[in-house]
Structures are given as structure tokens and as C-alpha cells.
Amino acid sequence: MSAAFAVKSTETRSSPPPAAQAARSDLAIDCKIDKLFYGDFLAVRDSHVPIEKGKIVGFIGPSGCGKSTVLRSLNRMNDLIPSFRFEGHVHFMGQDIYARNVDPVVVRRHIGMVFQQPNPFSMSIYDNVAFGLRLNRFKGNLDERVEHALRRAALWDEVKDKLKNNGLSLSGGQQQRLCIARAIATEPTVLLMDEPCSALDPIATRRVEELMLELKKDYTIAIVTHNMQQAQRVADVTAFFSVDISQGGRTGYLVEMGPTEQIFNDPREQLTKQYISGQFS
Amino acid sequence: MATVVDESRTTTSADLGRSWSDARAVTNTLLTVGAWLVALLAAVPLVSVLYMLIVQGGARLGLELLTELPPAGFEHGGGFGNAILGTLVMVGVAALIGIPIGVLGAIYLAEIAPDGRLARTTRFLAKVLTGFPSILAGVFVYAILVLTMGTYSALAGGVALAVLMLPTIVLTAEEAIRMVPRKMKEAAVGMGCTRTQTIWQVMLPTALLAILTGIMLGIARVAGESAPLLFTALFSNYWLSSLAEPTASLSILIYNFSSMPFDNQIELAWAASLVLVLIVLVFNILSRLVGRPKV
């Protein structure tokens, strides 16, 4: 493993011209991580994660395997960490989002994100959903778009009479659906979800999962989950990451990726089989 | 095998009552009583000062104080309306200078370059400035404003108070911005906010109440200051008509009148003390009210 990774030629960011990359037009995002560092710490290596349009891709793996890090590198959320360094490419809409001339703020307006902890802003439910639209200086009918987003997030009926109430006054599950409404109000093409149900009870979890299956019609979704049943329930494609401690560090990498059915029933790698069957976590 | 059972595990009754003779209980009682007494002792100065102020200053409290000018030597009656106005105006000037600089500085320290050399230096200096002798702020402003303008003024007084107010505001506002949960910042960034939008639309509103608390504390700290005003605003027996002339303040009035040989002036000094304490108290209470977490 270490040898393969040592000789691997790292593509520089600008080398592959966009035209040559358009080989697979069925991909929403083509993420190829050669090395991802936090300072000197190699957090993720050698992970090629193509994300197909209109599919739900589940990221599973043990704690510390870098699955959240990989997800966050898809909309440059890792830029918040000053020591973050990325080698590889993430192709989105025909461009490498790590190219020098790309503005991460614009990238994030196209790739929405839902976080582990529900994090509505301390403002009204309406303003939460309208937030992204106002950021983008949306000129159309704001009320209509807010209602549409709330309906898509299966929250409208519960909040339509109290749109002026603070978003934080909702229950945890409602808050998470509000965050989903906020994320889809601007109609991004991809939705990233970082363990969106880990702070929710089973009933709220079920509602969010139903919502994801519903949203799949219009969005490409990448979801990190700790819960393998959840991956089986919602993901079309599953990516299994593991952590390599052989070189002294704790470096995450992609073990295998394939249709969820195949990953869970007929994994190619021994490691995947062990993880799926609960032999380690 | 051995069937010896620990007796204490099988006893069905034990004395669980409080024992007063036990050494542990005695120490506990003594220390509790001791803590009570010391706490009481700590409250004595404040309570007795307030008591004296109310007894001595309360007698003269009335509308006349707010509307009349300070009396001359053998005059009766009079008030210190100009001093109350002067104090409020100078605190206002200080707030106008101190709040924007303080909050913007705090944004820099907390968000823009928290670990940079400039931030570390500024933070250190702000901490030093919190313990800065207030008279030196007066001397400093005397040198840069009073000498250059050629006159004592409300403006100079306000600037001196701003110097004293600034560190409190910077440090509390920085802390307030840092306390904004990381998930709020991530939500904003994830929505595609620029750094400016993240700070102004999400972080500052979230931290607003805590920042206001710091501002109120900063105001309360300077409202009662006398030393910096002595060098900058001096005093005036007349109503304030311009920011560029010597200005009366409650604290200087107290200082002046308390050493006069006239009963009337001494009574007014007491009343002014009471009014000043009330003003400071109002800002302290406001800071607690705005900072109180909403249920």
C-alpha cells in the first residue's frame, strides 16, 4: 500500500483541461483525493469518489476514517481550517473547485450542506429559508420560494401558521428539516449531508430519510452516516472508507465503492466484509 | 467455600442521621459559618456607602437638582443640571468613539486574524489597558487634545473616557464573538456567505446581547470617573453650549463641592454622589438585563 501511494503521481490542479475531463457526463461531482492534509497530518489519501447525478451516495466507515473530511472537501468547507491542504481535484460543473480562480463562496452556493447538529439561525423560520435567496439577491417571489422549499422539506404543514417564530423554537427534527429547506431554497445541484440524523430520534430520522428519497428526484445527495442500516435504506451507491494506521498516523482512504446492494451483500474487499458484518467499528 | 459474609452488608439498620460531634461535621459547620461571615463582610462597604448616600444625599433629591445651576458661595438652593448633562454628553461621546472601534477591533481579534502578531499584541495591550490608571488617560488626552485645542472641552473629556472604555468593550466583545457556536458559523459558510456576510449577518446578531453587556459595563466603568476629566473637561458653572469648552461633570462637582466650607455645597455634593451612583447602577442593571439568557 505504502509503495503504491509513494510512487503515485499527483496531478497538479490545473493540468487536466476541462474538456478532457468531461468524459463522464453522468457525474455531478468527480472527486479524486490524492492527499489531504491538516498541517503535517495526512488525513485522507488515494480516494476516488465519483458521485453520479440523481443518486444518493452514502459514505460509511469507522470513526476517524475521514468520511466527513471527504464530504467537506466537496464544497470547500475544510477551508475554514487554516492548516488544510488538498492535493487532487474535485470536478464540478466542468471545473476543478480547487482551481486558483474558483471562489469557494460561489461553489458553496451551488453545493448545499446539512450538518450533524441542526443549526438554524436565530431568526424567524421564514428568514431562515429566505436567507440564501437574499444572499443571492433573489428577485422573484420570495414567499412562493419559501413555501416551496418548506413543502419540499415536508415541514410546511407544521410551520405555516408560525413562520414568524424563531427557528430555534422548533423541535430537533423540525430544525433539521428547516435546515434542509434552507439548503434547498436556493436550488443547489448537490446536497451534502454530514450525519444529518445523528442528533435525531428514530421518528425524526425516518422522516428525514423519506425526505431524502423524495429529494433524490431533483438533487444529487452525498450523505455521511454512522448507521449502516441508514445507508442500506437510502443510498444507491455506498462508499466504504477505512483508516490506515500502518504508517504511524491515522490516514483515511476509500476501500471500495459500488452499488449499495453489492457493498452489503457481496463486497470485493475483505475489510468491507468485516466491517459490514460488525467485526470491527 | 468460605461463607463468611461482611457484616455491614447484611445489617438491616444503620444510623444515617446527622452527627454534630463528628470532626468532619464540625469542620464543615465552621467553614460554612466562616464563609457566611466573610461574604457578609464583603457586602458591608457597598451597603454602608449606599446607606450613607441615601441618608445624606436623599434629602436634597428633587427636580430642582436637574434644572438649576450650581450655586455660588453663600447662595441657597441650586442644583447641578449642567453636571448631569455634561456627564451624559461626555459618556455619549466616549460611547460614539469607543463602541465602533471596540467592536470592529473585536471582530478582527476574534475572526479575521485571531492568531496574528497584530492580534496578539492588541489583545495584550487591551488587557494592560484595563488596569491602566485612569488619571494617565487624562494626562494623555491633555497632551494630545487640550494642548492642541488650547482649551479644556467636553470633547477631550469624552476621548479620555473612550480610552478607558475601549479595552472593556474590545475584550468582552471578542469573547462574545468567540462564544458563537461553531455550528452557526458553519451554517453561514455552508450557505455561501462571504466572510463579511458570515460576520455581519450571523455572528454579530448571535453575539449581540453579550456585546451589549460589554458595552454597558464599559459605560458603567467610565461614568463615575473623575481623574481623567480633571485634566480634560475641567468644570463649568454654566450649561453646556459647545463640545469645545470646559464642561461640568458630576464627579468633578463632587470633588469641588465636598471640600467647600458651605453646608449648601456639601449637601449638593452628597446629592450628586447619589445621582452618580444611580446612573452607574442603571448601566450595570441594564448590562445584566440585556445579557440575561432568554428562556
Q: Which domains does chain A have, with CATH numbers?
A: 2-276 (3.40.50.300)
For chain A, state the CA radius of gyration. 19
Is the Cβ–Cβ distance between A254 and A239 less than 8 Å? yes
By the CB < 8 Å criterion, does B205 face chain A? yes
**Domain definitions of chain B by residue range:** 82-250+280-291
Name the β-bridge partners of B122: none
β-strand A190-194 against A27-38: which pairing, if any? unpaired
With beta carbons under 8 A apart, name residues in chain B contacting A77.
186, 189-190
CA A213 to CA A215: how far, in whole Å? 6
- B192: distance to nearest CA of chain A, Å? 5
Q: Per-residue pLDDT for B19 more than 80?
A: no
Residue pLDDT, tens place only, B145-188: 999 999 999 999 999 999 999 999 999 999 999 999 999 999 99
> pLDDT for B206-264, tens place per residue?
899 999 989 998 998 899 899 999 999 999 999 999 999 999 999 999 999 999 999 89
Contacts of B185 in chain A (CB under 8 A): 80
Say whether residue B203 is in contact with chain A using an 8 A CB cutoff: no
Residue A16 has pLDDT above 50, yes or no: no
Neighboring chain A residues of B192 at a CB cutoff of 8 Å = 105-106, 108-109, 132, 135-136, 186
The answer to whether the Cβ–Cβ distance between A135 and B181 falls below 8 Å is no
* Cβ-defined contact of B192 to A132 (cutoff 8 Å): yes
Tell me, yes or no, if B186 comes closer than 8 A to chain A by beta carbon. Answer: yes
Write out pLDDT tens, residues A143-196.
Answer: 999 999 999 888 999 999 999 999 999 998 899 999 999 999 988 999 999 999
Q: Please, where are the H alpha helices in chain A?
A: 2-7, 18-21, 67-73, 104-110, 125-135, 142-152, 156-159, 172-185, 202-215, 228-234, 260-265, 270-276
Q: How many CB pairs under 8 A join A and B?
A: 56
Domain B82-250+280-291 has CATH 3.30.70.370: no
Chain B hits for A185, CB-CB cut-off 8 Å, are: none
Q: Which residue of B has its CA nearest to A113?
A: B190
Q: What is the grid cell recorded at A163?
A: 413562520
Strand partners for A57: A222, A237
**The pLDDT of residue B4:** 55
Distance CA A52, CA A222 (A): 10
Residue A14's pLDDT is 45
A113, burial (CB in 10 Å: exposed 0-12, middle 13-18, buried 19+): buried
Q: What is the Rg, in whole angstroms, of the alpha carbon atoms belonging to chain B?
A: 27
Minimum CA–CA partner of A105 in chain B: B192
* Alpha carbon of A263: minimum distance to chain B alpha carbons (Å): 30
Q: ipTM of the assembly? A: 0.82
CB contact under 8 A, A121 and B188: yes
Q: How far apart are CA A90 and CA A108, in angstroms?
A: 13
- Is the CB of residue B94 less than 8 Å away from at least one CB of chain A? no
Contact A115 B192 (CB under 8 A): no
Place of cell 480516494: A47
Min distance A266 CA to chain B CA atoms (Å):
36
Would you call A108 and B189 a contact, using CB atoms and an 8 Å cutoff?
A: yes
Indicate whether A220 pLDDT > 90: yes
pLDDT tens digit string along A86-101?
A: 999 999 988 999 999 9
- pLDDT for position A131: 93
**B187 and A120: CB-CB below 8 Å?**
yes
- Cα–Cα–Cα angle for A108, A112, A113, nearest 5°? 105
